[in-house]
Amino acid sequence: MFGKMGLRGKMLLSICGVVLLSYSVSISYITYNASKMARAEAEEKTLEIASNHGQMIKSELDRAMDVVRTVAHSLEGIKKGDTDPDREQINAMLKNVLRQNPDFIAIDTCWEPNALDGRDAEFIGVPGHDDTGRFVPYWNRGSGNIEVEPLVNFDTEAWYQDPKRSGREIITEPYVYPVGGKDVLMATVVAPIMVEGRFLGIVAVDIALDTFGKMMEKVKPFGTGYGYLVSSGGYIVAHPADEFVGKNVRELVTGKVQTSLLSALEEGQVFAVERETVKDGQMTFQVLAPITVGKTDTPWAIGIVVPLSKVMEGAVKLRNTSIVIGLAGFLMLVAVVWFIAIVLVVKPINGVVDGLRDIAEGEGDLTLRLPINTQDEIGELSTWFNSFIEKLQRIVGDLAGQAGAMEGASGALLDVAGDLSTRADNTSERATSVSGAAEEMTSNINGVAASMEQASANSDMVATAAEEMTATIGEVAKQSETARHISEKAVQQAGGASTKMARLGEAAAAIGSVTEAISEISEQTNLLALNATIEAARAGEAGKGFAVVAGEIKALANQTADATRDIKAQVDGIQGITGESVADIEEVTRVISEVNDIVGTIATAVEEQSVATREIAANISQASQGIQEVNGMVAQSSGVITEITREISEVNTNAADISGGSRSVHGNAEELSQMALALKQVVETFKI
């Protein structure tokens, strides 16, 4: 398919295809890097948002932890004092702390049995104590007012058992606890009461999860995102969608994402992922940042969710802009390539092609010359084409003249051969007549004298005819020699034309060498552009401009290589045509050489005929002398007449040989005439 396309189509398809591929790769590369940078920037910004809002959450939780830690230290001081702790004083302190912190839903302290003052039995039935009198006051806002009630479930709940076991501060997982007769979803920060390394109880603050929800409502990253809060155990503490609050992330995510998420929560690491939201299936970018509260080892985490379309908005705009700019540049390049292909390359080459086609198939107009409008390779091609046609015109003109001369020479040779054949036939007839006369002389000796007189006269006529035939054959030999010289000159001129065509082939080969050198330079330029692109990539932001320049250099190098390959293909075509022209000239040389050989053969035959004719003349002269002697020696007439009869027989034989040779010369002359006519017809196909 590609091989059947014209040069214009090949140039457009090749160059535009490469450029389109380059644009596609560039746009893909830009889009990929822009997306990568957008993701990195979004991750960094989202992490910053998570850190900022996480710091707010941490501040609230740390404040609650500071409160319970301070109260615990105060109770530790009271316990270590010289006087017994005053339970009423402690209750007043707790109530006052709750009053000063309206975002706390409750504050409490829970002591081990008789650990406070050893007087638990005295406080059975007193508010803030259990059935054994154990000091477990739970100050809360359940009824709207600050009231106290005894703690429950402390023997089993983690908010008491974990610090008792570890002696460390904790923040609990979300759980439900009855407050003022209502179940409330909450989380608790707890500080242990430790005296001399012995666990005596706890101080705790309860925070309703809706408090965190109100805080997370303010989190609107990128305008359309949202935030959520998750505990160390994976429980969702706050979320814009209330149905997710209190659920564990294990119920919402699966597979590797779940494993990575839980691992990040447990180790307090940052976690980032692209995934669909559970609620609406929208692709989002999510970041989870740890929040460490006080001295706890169970960090919570704040999650920030941003729609991926919002994150990639800048990258998409950059991609679309790149596509528009790239498409505009591609269309401009197509227009430029179209102009170059049509006006600067294909049109001049078509002129050369039309000229060669006219020579090969049409009238063979050798007067055609191509206009030279440029000084580039196309102009040089036109210059050499005109030079080649000019030389070919001269050669064909010379061949036309020589063909005409050969045609005239062959016509003259035909005339000479015809005349020679006629004269030989006449000689044969006369020799036959003489032979009959001699026989008649043998039978009638009395008429010998008169017959001898007649024979002498006839011999003179034969001698004269022989001399004329000798002169004619000499003229034929001269014309044959002239034809041979003309043929040799034609061979030399055809050889010169072949040499010049070979030089033209060498010049085309030299142009091919130049195009190969240009191709090698283009490949080196391409390699340098590639190295420059790699170095620019290593240079990062500083090398972006250099990378663009290197890309342009690489594109130009590819265009130069493609144009060089096209020029080389055209030069190869010229070399092929030159080779065919050399072969045609060599065929003409061979035909002329054959004509030269034939003319040489004719000259040899004519020379032989000349020798034979001279022998005939000599024989006729001898016959004339014999007749004169017979006329003088009648007594010896019988023997002499016998000798004359034999000599005349030889004359007859020689005359027959001359006649056959003349016919052969005539046939060769006809062949030479046909060859001259064929050569003339070949030459006439060209317009010179």
- pLDDT category, 345, cuts 50, 70, 90? confident
Residue 511, pLDDT > 70, answer no
Q: Answer with the residue of higher pLDDT: 458 or 174.
A: 174
How many structural domains are present in the chain? Answer: 3
Q: Answer with the residue of higher pLDDT: 111 or 572.
A: 111
- Residue 30, token pair as written in the block: 């830009």
- Which residue has tokens 């020679």? 420
Is 220 found in the same domain as 97? no
Give domain status of residue 81, yes or no: yes
Domain ends where: 259, 280, 308? 308
Range with top average pLDDT, 254-263, 410-419, 516-525, 560-569: 254-263
Domain ends where: 308, 326, 356? 308
Find the radius of gyration of the CA atoms of the chain. Answer: 63
From the list 244, 220, 219, the residue with the least C-alpha distance to 230 is: 244
Report pLDDT digits (tens) over 608-653. 756 655 775 576 567 567 657 756 765 565 665 677 567 667 756 7
Is 117 found in the same domain as 177? yes
**Alpha carbon distance 673, 414 (integer Å):** 9
Q: What is the pLDDT of residue 147?
A: 94
- pLDDT category, 156, cuts 50, 70, 90? very high
Is 428 found in the same domain as 381? yes
Span 210-239, mean pLDDT?
86
Domain that holds residue 293: 215-308
Span 216-224, mean pLDDT?
82
- pLDDT category, 41, cuts 50, 70, 90? confident
- Residue 335, token pair as written in the block: 């227009």
Is 224 found in the same domain as 201? no
Give domain status of residue 132, yes or no: yes
Q: What is the pLDDT of residue 304?
A: 87
Give domain status of residue 363, yes or no: no
**Alpha carbon distance 87, 114 (integer Å):** 12
Q: What is the pLDDT of residue 396?
A: 77
Domain ends where: 308, 331, 366? 308
Q: Answer with the residue of higher pLDDT: 151 or 20.
A: 151
Q: What is the pLDDT of residue 191?
A: 96
Is 223 found in the same domain as 203? no
CATH number of the domain residue 61 falls in: 3.30.450.20
From the list 496, 504, 508, the residue with the least C-alpha distance to 388 is: 504
- pLDDT category, 523, cuts 50, 70, 90? confident
Q: Answer with the residue of higher pLDDT: 55 or 344.
A: 55
Is 202 found in the same domain as 224? no
Crossing angle for the helix pair 87-100 and 7-80, nearest 10 degrees? 150
Residue 92, pLDDT > 90, answer yes
Give domain status of residue 359, yes or no: no
SS3 letters for 635-647?
HHHHHHHHHHHHH
Report pLDDT digits (tens) over 178-187. 998 888 999 9
Report pLDDT digits (tens) over 552-575. 667 766 776 676 677 577 657 756
DSSP SS3 for 303:
strand
Give domain status of residue 471, yes or no: yes
Give the range among 247-261, 382-396, 402-416 with minimum mean pLDDT.
Answer: 402-416
Is 239 found in the same domain as 177? no
Residue 534, pLDDT > 80, answer no
* Angle subtended at Cα 82 by Cα 81 and Cα 87, rounded to the nearest 5 degrees: 65
Give domain status of residue 12, yes or no: no
Is 230 found in the same domain as 200? no
Is 157 found in the same domain as 290? no
Span 38-49, mean pLDDT?
77
Q: Is 198 exposed, middle or buried (0-12, 13-18, 19+ CB in 10 A)?
A: exposed
Residue 627 sits at φ, ψ, to 5 deg, of: -65, -40
Give domain status of residue 556, yes or no: no
Residue 190 sits at φ, ψ, to 5 deg, of: -130, 140
Q: What is the pLDDT of residue 286?
A: 83
**Alpha carbon distance 546, 119 (integer Å):** 85
Where does residue 364 fall: left (phi above 0), alpha (psi -120 to 50 degrees), or beta otherwise? left
Residue 103, pLDDT > 80, answer yes
Report pLDDT digits (tens) over 474-506. 675 676 577 567 657 755 765 675 676 567 567
Is 506 found in the same domain as 452? yes
Give domain status of residue 234, yes or no: yes
Residue 279, pLDDT > 80, answer no
Q: Are 326 and 27 in contact (CB under 8 A)?
A: yes
DSSP SS3 for 136:
coil
Q: What percent of the chain has pLDDT over 90?
A: 19
CA distances from 28 to 323, 335, 346, 538, 539 (A): 10, 24, 34, 19, 20
Kind plus residue range of the DSSP H or E element containing 272 = strand 271-276
Span 14-39, mean pLDDT?
77
Is 392 found in the same domain as 285? no
Q: What is the pLDDT of residue 91?
A: 96
Q: What percent of the chain has pLDDT over 70?
A: 67
- pLDDT category, 309, cuts 50, 70, 90? confident
Q: What is the pLDDT of residue 442?
A: 61
Residue 577, pLDDT > 80, answer no
- pTM beyond 0.75: no
Is 477 found in the same domain as 411? yes
